[in-house]
């Protein structure tokens, strides 16, 4: 939806979801305003947290690459654990750090909020992101495994 908030800022909603099955994992990104429907296959050795972090980072990267500025960006996910991990002082992996750096880059030119939404509750954006994630799992994965290096706890200084 392309609604304006009370200050007249345009909201850009970016929905992120992930799927992990025995045959693989995948991230899905959907944004009506950005005309984005992205499916990212991530192989069989990627955790749910890594898959969701990748989705959030890629959603933020779209904003950065398109040089979008002066907008209110909502990145919506149905995984509270991912939001808690990003809010933690502990950086757990290179992907965690890269996701935070990408979000920092986007916040330099925009107001960014990471929001939790209830999954599988009829929210069209979340349902579309879920479809994209499920499609990603069915896509061929041609890179070496693991797609993302294993998590290591790093101090956030």
Separation CA 138–CA 134 (nearest Å): 7
Phi and psi dihedrals of 109, rounded to 5?
Answer: -120, -5
Q: Which carries the bigger pLDDT value, residue 133 or residue 121? A: 133
The more confidently predicted of residues 46 and 66 is: 66
Within a domain: 54:
yes
Terminal C-alpha separation, the chain: 38
Output the pLDDT for position 45. 85
Residue 95 lies in a domain: yes
pLDDT above 60: residue 5: no
What pLDDT does 137 receive?
94
pLDDT(3) > 60: no
Residue 150, in any domain of the structure: no
Write down the H helix ranges in 8-152: 48-65, 80-87, 94-107, 124-138
Parent domain of 96:
11-144
Whether 4 maps to a domain, the answer reads no
In a domain, 1, yes or no: no
Computed over every residue of the chain, the mean pLDDT equals 87
Q: How many domains does the structure of the chain reveal?
A: 1
Of 82, 126, 115, 123, which Cα lies nearest the Cα of 100?
A: 82
The domain that contains 58 carries what CATH number?
A: 3.30.420.10
Residue 138 belongs to a domain? yes
pTM, whole model, 2 decimals? 0.85
Exposed (0-12), middle (13-18) or buried (19+): which is 148, by Cβ within 10 Å? buried
Collect all residues with Cβ–Cβ distance below 8 Å to 32 and sequence separation of at least 6: 1, 2, 13, 125
| Per-residue model confidence (pLDDT) at position 9 | 61
Helices 80-87 and 48-65, interaxial angle, to 10°? 70
- Within a domain: 155: no
Q: Is 47 a domain residue?
A: yes
Is pLDDT above 50 for 117? yes
Q: 75: closest CA among 94, 45, 102, 98?
A: 102
């Amino acid at each position: 939806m392309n609604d304006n908030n009370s200050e007249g800022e345009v909201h850009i909603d970016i929905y992120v979801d992930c799927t992990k099955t025995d045959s693989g994992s995948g991230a899905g990104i959907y944004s009506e305003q950005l005309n984005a429907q992205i499916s990212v296959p991530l192989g069989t050795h990627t955790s749910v947290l890594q898959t969701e972090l990748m989705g959030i980072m890629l959603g933020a990267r779209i904003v950065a690459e398109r040089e979008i500025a002066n907008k209110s960006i909502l990145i919506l996910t149905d995984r509270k654990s991912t939001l808690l991990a990003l809010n933690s002082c502990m950086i757990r992996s290179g992907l965690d750090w890269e996701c935070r750096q990408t979000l920092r880059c986007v916040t330099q030119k925009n107001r960014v909020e990471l929001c939790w939404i209830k999954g599988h509750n009829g929210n069209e954006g979340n349902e579309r992101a879920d479809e994209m994630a499920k499609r990603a799992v069915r896509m061929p994965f041609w890179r070496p495994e693991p797609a993302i290096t294993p998590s290591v706890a790093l101090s956030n200084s």
